A and B are shown apart, each in its own frame.
Chain A
Amino acid sequence: MTPGRPKSLAPPRGAGAKRLGGCMSDLAITALLIVSLFLILGSGVWIGLTLSGVAWIGMQLFSSRPAGDAMAVTIWGSASSWTLTALPLFVWMGEILFRTRLSQDMFRGLAPWMQALPGRLLHVNVAGCTLFAAVSGSSAATCATIGKMSLPELARRGYPDGISIGSLAGAGTLGLLIPPSIIMIVYGVSAEVSIAQLFIAGVLPGLMLALLFSGYLVVWALMNPSKVPPRDAPMSFGAKLRESRHLIPVMLLIAAVLGSIYGGIATATEAAALGVVGSLIISAAQGSLNWQTFKESLLGGTRLYCMIALILSGAAFLTLAMGYIGLPRHLAEWIATLGLSPFGLLAVLMLFYIVLGCFLDGISMVVLTMGVILPTVQKAGIDPLWFGIFVVLVVEMAQITPPVGFNLFVLQGMTKREIGWIARVTFPFFLLMVAAVGLIYFVPEIVTWLPAQMRR
């Protein structure tokens, strides 16, 4: 048996209905399973275990195949699959960079160039998150790393807390959209879409979203000129350029990781390995690499990966079990009878994910729903690559909606402000993301053009 995804275990069509007979009882039991899933999740049982538990019950009810053995084989297949190996490496890379002086360096390198723009240093949040997102796979880590430096600096200069925290929370979500991105790896593995292609597809939408954020900051600054503090002492052009040398390490790392994927010389996993080595080199060059930081980043990365792996294991088994229940097929057929246009379908899905994001984290959301929703989406003729970027954008929105939004948690920890207040100052950026979803819907080339260039 290969360590690939256990696709060969997919059940025959309609295998489930036999044992229980009747379509009604199928539906009732499916509804019961979904309700029990949310009850068990809500009562605080660990997410990964809950998923495999519900899948186990579902398989016992709907299939004559021994559930326990199917569970072990499926989980083994997903946990040892080669496509997933990019994930732990990117997680580790993020943990290394978090423990370097990269955020200080980026602030010093970016700040001089932002003084002339309306909104001045607020743009450092957006530009900093955009750059850091290109070496980090996670939005919460992007938010934490950039905020660690920019929030105190902005507060010291007298920028209003509302707009600095709001713009950071919004721009932090770029960590998911701009590659490398953990959620894209998770989506790529569940949907069997090339991770390298997904990464490249995220670049233009990410830059577009960054421009939207910056544009909003410009408008805000022009409308509230009294709230923008005066600029720092002016610098000569040469001095600005010299300060920019602090950006060189991060630029080199971006070139190594994204350049090697785009150029087709490395797979996503190999780029991740280069990224880990590059991050260790940066860390050493800055003098922040010692046994203590190496140990912390390695163990921290291992734990973070392990947390994700437990959820992925449960989800892999749940996807198999749902195949036996026939839920994805029933759902696709049911939605087809509604006669929704692709636009209508996507609008419904967006609302669904935003509501789901109020309770679940992004990874759980993606792995929990992909097995069910993908057949519907494919039936509607939506490109799975484009849909991946759509899902990432919508999951990003979920990162900044209360009560569960990881960027909100991070900022709550950093600023000691109330989560409701943070969500309120972030709301304009939430609306900008809705606008971004509209833009990629009407101009899908924003997503598909760059990966198409790569294919040649």
Chain B
Amino acid sequence: MRRLLDALYDGAAWLAALFMVGLLAMVLLAIVSRLLHFHVPGTDAYAGYLMAASGFLALAHTLKRGEHIRVTLLLSRLQGGARRGIEVWALAAATALAALFAFYSVRLAWQSRQFNDISTGNDATPLWIPQLGMAIGTSILLIAFIDELVLELRGQRSHEVPDEATRNE
């Protein structure tokens, strides 16, 4: 089970990284096409879709690496039972919110498919296809939060803070 879950998070992260490379390629294509005067319709919209897919698919992996930020002012000052209590509360609240996020993301993609929503840009993409990334990414995030909550309740969750998290912004 553990290995299956980790493979799920890592697989999604690799897919996210692939979409990041795709985003770069799409923007470069837009530059080249302008320089060489040929027209590729919808590069802007595709770049947006690729960015969205990359961001959503990496959610769970980023959570597992402890790189999503939260205010730890209080947590870092607590010890033992009080700390555990707050951790369980934070994880439970986050799990509920992630469930909300995942449910409505899946619903959005589903409805776009039902009503045949098409992008009004010149890419004319059926919107459910790019929205699939959001639906899948948020669902995996929900799984990751449940996973973390269970680990915390069993006392198996590690509380290490990675160095990388401090390099943001």
Q: Indicate whether A33 reaches chain B with its CB closer than 8 angstroms.
A: no
Q: Indicate whether A450 reaches chain B with its CB closer than 8 angstroms.
A: no
B-contacting residues, A47-64, CB 8 Å: 47-50, 52-53, 56
A-contacting residues, B64-122, CB 8 Å: 65, 67-75, 86-87, 89-90, 93-94, 97-98, 100-101, 103-105, 107-108, 117, 119-121
Q: Which residue from B49, B54, B65 sits with its C-beta under 8 Å from A3? A: B49
Q: Which residue from B21, B24, B72, B130 sits with its C-beta under 8 Å from A80? A: B130
Let me know if B166 and A76 touch, CB within 8 A.
no
Let me know if B13 and A71 touch, CB within 8 A.
no
How far does the Cβ of A363 sit from chain B's closest Cβ, in whole Å? Answer: 5
Q: Which residue from B51, B74, B98, B167 sits with its C-beta under 8 Å from A140? A: B167
A141 to B, closest residue via Cβ: B167
Q: Indicate whether B11 reaches chain A with its CB closer than 8 angstroms.
A: no
Chain A interface extent, by class? 35 or more
| Cβ contacts under 8 Å, A362 to chain B | 169
Let me know if B86 and A2 touch, CB within 8 A.
no
Let me know if A409 and B166 touch, CB within 8 A.
yes
B75 to A, closest residue via Cβ: A44
Q: Complex formed: what's the CA distance from A397 to B119 in Å?
A: 42
| Cβ contacts under 8 Å, B75 to chain A | 44
Let me know if B166 and A273 touch, CB within 8 A.
no
How far does the Cβ of A150 sit from chain B's closest Cβ, in whole Å? Answer: 17
B-contacting residues, A2-51, CB 8 Å: 2-3, 40-50
Q: Indicate whether B163 reaches chain A with its CB closer than 8 angstroms.
A: yes
| Cβ contacts under 8 Å, A141 to chain B | 167
| Cβ contacts under 8 Å, A43 to chain B | 74, 86, 89-90, 93
| Cβ contacts under 8 Å, B55 to chain A | 79, 88, 305-306, 309-310
A3 to B, closest residue via Cβ: B48
Let me know if A1 and B24 touch, CB within 8 A.
no
B-contacting residues, A360-400, CB 8 Å: 360-364
How far does the Cβ of B11 sit from chain A's closest Cβ, in whole Å? Answer: 13
Q: Complex formed: what's the CA distance from A235 to B58 in Å?
A: 50
Let me know if A302 and B16 touch, CB within 8 A.
yes
| Cβ contacts under 8 Å, A88 to chain B | 20, 23, 51, 54-55
A257-276 to B contact mask, C-beta < 8 Å, 1/0: 00000000010011011101
Q: A45-B70, A266-B31, A307-B68 are in contact. Are A98 and B167 (CB under 8 A)?
A: yes
Q: Complex formed: what's the CA distance from A44 to B55 in Å?
A: 22
| Cβ contacts under 8 Å, A138 to chain B | 167-169
Q: Indicate whether B127 reaches chain A with its CB closer than 8 angstroms.
A: yes
Q: Indicate whether A285 reaches chain B with its CB closer than 8 angstroms.
A: no
User: Which among A46, A69, A364 has the highest number of chain B CB atoms within 10 Å?
Assistant: A46
Q: Which residue from A46, A69, A266, A298 sits with its C-beta under 8 Å from B20? A: A298
| Cβ contacts under 8 Å, A49 to chain B | 93-94, 97-98, 101
Q: Complex formed: what's the CA distance from A309 to B93 in Å?
A: 20
Q: List 9 A-B contacts (CB under 8 A).
A: A46-B94, A79-B51, A81-B48, A82-B47, A273-B31, A303-B61, A306-B68, A307-B62, A362-B169
Rank and list the top 6 A-B pairs by shortest CB-CB distance, nearest first: A309-B55, A306-B58, A72-B108, A80-B52, A273-B27, A80-B48
Interface residues of B (CB under 8 A from A): 13, 16-17, 20-21, 23-24, 27-28, 30-31, 44-45, 47-49, 51-52, 54-56, 58-59, 61-63, 65, 67-75, 86-87, 89-90, 93-94, 97-98, 100-101, 103-105, 107-108, 117, 119-121, 127, 130-131, 134, 163-164, 166-169
* A-B contacts besides A2-B119, A302-B13, 13 pairs, CB < 8 Å: A3-B121, A43-B89, A49-B97, A88-B20, A140-B169, A183-B169, A298-B17, A298-B21, A303-B13, A303-B58, A303-B61, A306-B58, A307-B168
